Amino acid sequence: MIDVHLRAYKTKNLFMKKLFFVVGAFAMVAMSACQNENSVNPRPTDEIIGKVTVSGIVKAELNNNTAGLEKAPAGLKVVAEVYTRDLVLNATSGNYPYKYFQGTVDSNGAYSIEVEAGPYGNDITLYFPDFRADVITASNPISTLFQGSDRSVYLVKGRNEILDYNY
């Protein structure tokens, strides 16, 4: 009778050892197959790239009968150009494209563009377009071409920039 209980105990003990071995082996295979998605498909994280808002007021001399500048017409597109190499933590040699962000001048002459800023800060270039408008004079309005240009500004992650522009 003791022999039967002893054999049953040994069989149960052997079964439990095999079960623990199989479960342990399966767990190790499952855990080693897991990869960090960022190691397979590296991409910037929120800690590296931040959002910065560049805003300002755009003015032009649209009325010769008054002192000072007037707000630029609504609808003008202001474009920000960012070099993506500046957005990379450890940039290497190679081709890095430019990214473009756009804002529109509102009825108050104000624009606002949210752009990306790199881990060490970066330069961006703002492009202000040419536009044509009638300038009010003492006699007759004169159709005038206002020529825009570009402006550079240095961005620091977490700090918004104000850049006004006068034509």
Mean pLDDT of 73-93: 88
Measured CA to CA, the distance from residue 9 to residue 15 in angstroms comes to 10
What pLDDT score does 151 carry? 95
DSSP assignment string, 111-165: EEEEEEE-TT-EEEEEE---EEEEEB-SSS-EEEEEP--EEEEEEBTTB-EE--E
Measured CA to CA, the distance from residue 125 to residue 147 in angstroms comes to 17
**What CATH architecture does domain 50-166 belong to?**
Sandwich (2.60)
As a whole number, the mean pLDDT across the chain is 80
What pLDDT score does 7 carry? 52
Q: Is the pTM of this model over 0.95?
A: no
Per residue in 116-155, pLDDT tens?
A: 988 888 999 999 999 999 999 888 899 999 999 999 999 9
Return the H-helix or E-strand segment holding 99: strand 98-104
Give the whole-number percent of the chain exceeding pLDDT 70: 71
Any residues with CB less than 8 A from the CB of 63 and at least 6 apart, and which? 70, 135, 136
The answer to whether 109 touches 59, Cβ cutoff 8 Å, is yes
Mean pLDDT of 44-72: 85
